[in-house]
Structure 1
Amino acid sequence: MTDIKRIEVGARMSQAVVHGDTVYLAGQVAQRAPGASVADQTRDILAKTDELLAAAGTDKSKLLSATIWLTDIGTFNEMNAVWDAWVSPGNTPARACVEAKLAAPQFTVEIAVVAAR
């Protein structure tokens, strides 16, 4: 039987779950969202993603998939400029990016990833 490790456990969800050699991150939103640009929110999210992946014993070079939600698909290029600078060259994950309403109006970007360990 494979153990399950939960990271930053809350009443509603864990920020990361490790099962075997796979790490699942909850959708991440910017900690400093109000008034922040899409680029700034993306940077904040990716920094938190790095922290959670490290806590789970992995890093962005082992990303398997990513799902990105934008409140305005017109900001796709702005988000991608930050994403492209962050993602590990040659180790890009399978990815989807869609326009969607998010949980609160101050959030303009949400990103969830799955990674190997």
Structure 2
Amino acid sequence: MSIQRIKPGPRMSQAVVFGNMVYLAGQVGNAGENPADQTKTILANIDALLAEAGTSKSNVLKAEIWLSDMAYFAEMNEIWDAWIDPANPPARACGESKLATADFDVEIMITAAKL
């Protein structure tokens, strides 16, 4: 069984496919965007990476979400709730954490299946 690396760089790949599993790196939006716009950008990136890996948000198994401040929880969830497949919601965790730079307020990491 081979490993497929999508958009590999010197430090990490944006996605790794092994068998029927797809692992996405933590995705962030554009520095300086508000949390809602960062979330929209992130979810668009996730859609594109999942499509390149041969799957979709309907097959997301797990999501890990980090916010720079839990005050953004409702704002992020409004965008998230409109994005997820309501028939196939993933397991999910969300917490507060310092992110790579102060310009980022949201980071999302996804694990999905390929069916």
TM-score, normalised on structure 2? 0.98
Q: Which residue of 1 aligns with 2:64?
A: 67
Q: Which residue of 2 aligns with 1:17?
A: 16
**Superposition pairs for residues 1-117 of structure 1, below 5 Å?**
2-30=1-29, 32-34=30-32, 36-117=33-114
Q: Deviations over 1:20-69 (max 9, x none)?
A: 00000000001x221x1110000000000000000000000000000000
Letter in 1 for 2:2: D
Partner Cα separation in structure 2 for residue 63 and residue 50 of structure 1? 11
Partner Cα separation in structure 1 for residue 44 and residue 55 of structure 2? 14
**Moved >6 Å (runs of 4+):** none
Partner Cα separation in structure 2 for residue 50 and residue 33 of structure 1? 20
Q: Give the drift of 1:9.
A: 0.3
Structure 1, unmatched stretches of 5+, are: none
Partner Cα separation in structure 1 for residue 50 and residue 31 of structure 2? 21
Q: Percent identity?
A: 59
* Secondary structure of the structure 2 residue equivalent to 1:39: helix
Partner Cα separation in structure 2 for residue 18 and residue 84 of structure 1? 26
Q: Deviations over 1:64-111 (max 9, x none)?
A: 000000000011000000000000111000000000000011000000
TM-score, normalised on structure 1? 0.96
Structure 2, unmatched stretches of 5+, are: none
- Give the number of aligned pairs: 114
